[in-house]
Structure 1
Amino acid sequence: MDWIKKHRWLFFGLCTLLTWGVWGEFSELIEHEGFPSNYVYVVWAFSMVPCAVVALWLAGWTLDYSPRALLLGMSAGFLGAGGQLVLFEALRFGPAYIVFPVVSMSPIVTIALSLGLLHESANRIQRFGIVIALAAIFFLSWQDGAHDKAVKGGLWLVLAAVVFVAWGVQGYIMKFANASMRAESIFFYMMLTGLILVPVALCMAGPRDTAVDTELWVKGFFTQMLNSIGALTLVYAYRYGKAIIISPMQGLAPLITMVLSLLIFAVVPGPMLSVGLVLAVIALVALSMEKTE
């Protein structure tokens, strides 16, 4: 417990890393079972509700509702949830193997804004870890496109760039907002904006010819609950840690997904993913070093 109190940013950052990594593995399994990808957003939005209730309970049922809190909280929410919807559109025009490497580099935006506007700094080892983490994120997001769909024009790049900027700015706002409002309130507004955009997600999904089994809906909900828990611990990580460290660290979640695939299903990663795995381990160790220069 003493270690957690002393290293809260690292504890919550690792919680996000773990939950998002496990979520990545189970989300693939659910998709293979036939859960429609178009409805993933809807399930995710509602899975945020119980996490928001727990967060408010931890805050003594106190919610920041000043105009500033509303602006910051809703901005973080719309950038995150809206970015997900734009990502779905990007995947309609471009295959995943070229879209995800662009989107995954959003921590660059967070780092740039935090360095320029918040004047954050890191020690020499952590700066090394940031660079290695960004390289690891790129390799971990690499997907084989040999049998993927063809690229449809250049709209995919515009949409991917929108997500890249939106998620990068969201990370900065989450850190900036933590200086003037409770982390629990930030997450509540993230949940609220996620629900507000559910009708948009349903319109984008369109009608389906076949019904989805109740069991799949339940599995999908609890799978997305891992995503929501990771989002909550990420807000806490930004409260206690520097954005230039937390942002690249959360992008290393595919490391956990790869390890689970290797241990459970004996799926051996290809050369690109293997490089990403090694770099991710090095980056995590370096980012965790708090020794001052």
Structure 2
Amino acid sequence: MNAVPSPSGRAWLLNALITVVLWGFWGAFSSLSPEHGFPETLVYCVWALTMIPPAFIALRIGGGRLDRSPRAIAYGMAVGLLGAGGQMVLFYAVTRGPAYLIFPIISLSPLVTIVMSFAFLGERTGKLGIVGIVLALIALPIFNYSPADGGSTSGAIWFFLALIVMLCWGVQAYFMKSANNYMSAEGIFFYMMIAGLLLVPVAWVLTDRSQPINWGWDGPALAAGIQVLNAIGALTLVFAFRYGKAIIVAPLSNAGAPLATAIISLIALGVMPGMLKVVGLLLALAASVLLAIEPDAADETAESELEPSTI
């Protein structure tokens, strides 16, 4: 690629904020399809299909050339399979244990990304970034703790399954950043799309057909309209990792998205969060602000060596 400096040192922040907003809307409305009788496993199938248009559009905008080297394929498929594979494990985990404990564990996946990026990529941040990271890691489990969810338990298997999902998504974010050092962001997302499609048969098999399935417009069509927000948000997240440090982007996107969801749910759906959620919201807000203004958040390598491209 050409050594063209980025037109803005905040390209990572623009893409991260787009992800936060899109995932905020997706989070606020993602439960509508299952509530209308369209199983979450089939929602996954629809999500995988919604990855196709943005993948091809991004690749075309980026020049239409896909890196087919063994290293690019390995990195791209690793990112995709870790994300989609973690989702498959999550489908099973929530049938074996309490969701109100599983999701707080999974929400700590940025901690895995931070440790790996610190150790293997040599990423560092300033005092504001450190405080923001700590606040985000505190806010995430609070956001995802919902005692009312209940859930059946089966020994301790759910705990290990939750750890697997946490590791999958944490390592995925690390590889997403690492892969940007060797291939284009458009190529990474394209392989993510391929990996997501490969696991569609697994989600199809996991679907409980003993219950009626809604195949009407408020089933798969509604799911597609909602899940495309997730897909585009995943694309902009790849660009955020391209230009920004993983130790900043991971906690910002993971804390900012539920914050946006809470605000959108309050405005659009009139859903008032409980006191615990309010505490999480305030912590996430403080974390997001600190991470956004952190002066050392941009990746100098990406800024100076990679050709700029923002979706």
TM-score bin (small chain): over 0.9
1:260 to 248, 264, 272: 264
Q: Which runs of 5+ in 1 are unaligned?
A: none
2:142 to 123, 133, 139: 139
Shift of 1:208: 4.5
1:251 to 251, 254, 263: 254
Determine if the alignment matches structure 1 residue 188 to structure 2 residue 190. Answer: yes
Shift of 1:209: 4.6
Which amino acid is 2:179 matched to?
A
Distance change (3 Å), C-alpha of 1:270 and 1:69: same
Q: Give the RMSD, CA atoms, in angstroms.
A: 1.5
1:88 to 85, 91, 98: 91
Shift of 1:223: 0.6
Contact (CA 8 Å) 1:55, 1:184: kept in 2 or not?
Answer: yes
Which amino acid is 2:82 matched to?
L
Q: Counterpart in 2 of 1:118?
A: 121
Shift of 1:194: 0.5
Q: Counterpart in 2 of 1:37?
A: 40
2:51 to 41, 48, 53: 48
Q: Counterpart in 2 of 1:282?
A: 286
1:273 to 277, 280, 284: 277
In 1, Cα distance between the equivalents of 2:200 and 2:126? 42
In 2, Cα distance between the equivalents of 1:4 and 1:223? 32
In 2, Cα distance between the equivalents of 1:28 and 1:206? 17
Q: Counterpart in 2 of 1:14?
A: 17
Alignment of 1:183-262 (within 5 A): 183-215=185-217, 216-252=219-255, 253-262=257-266
Q: TM-score, normalised by structure 2?
A: 0.90
Shift of 1:206: 4.1
Contact (CA 8 Å) 1:17, 1:230: kept in 2 or not?
Answer: yes
Give the aligned length: 289
Alignment of 1:96-115 (within 5 A): 96-115=99-118
Which amino acid is 1:33 matched to?
H
Q: TM-score, normalised by structure 1?
A: 0.95
Shift of 1:268: 1.6
SS state of the match for residue 149, structure 1?
coil
Give CA-to-partner distance per residue, 1:137-164, whole Å, 9 cap, x none: 111111123x622322111111111001
Which amino acid is 1:239 matched to?
R
Shift of 1:212: 1.9
Shift of 1:213: 2.8
Contact (CA 8 Å) 2:38, 2:213: kept in 1 or not?
Answer: no
Shift of 1:250: 1.2
SS state of the match for residue 128, structure 1?
helix
SS state of the match for residue 165, structure 1?
helix
2:165 to 163, 166, 182: 163
SS state of the match for residue 155, structure 2?
coil
In 2, Cα distance between the equivalents of 1:4 and 1:286? 23
In 2, Cα distance between the equivalents of 1:6 and 1:168? 25
In 1, Cα distance between the equivalents of 2:157 and 2:165? 13
Structure 1 runs of 4+ aligned residues shifted over 6 Å read: none
Contact (CA 8 Å) 1:79, 1:166: kept in 2 or not?
Answer: yes
Give CA-to-partner distance per residue, 1:222-263, whole Å, 9 cap, x none: 111011011000000000000000000111211111111211
Contact (CA 8 Å) 1:4, 1:11: kept in 2 or not?
Answer: no
Which amino acid is 1:43 matched to?
V
Distance change (3 Å), C-alpha of 1:262 and 1:211: closer
SS state of the match for residue 242, structure 2?
helix
Contact (CA 8 Å) 2:95, 2:152: kept in 1 or not?
Answer: no
Give CA-to-partner distance per residue, 1:201-228, whole Å, 9 cap, x none: 1111143552423302111011110110
SS state of the match for residue 231, structure 2?
helix
Which amino acid is 1:181 matched to?
M
Distance change (3 Å), C-alpha of 1:205 and 1:213: closer
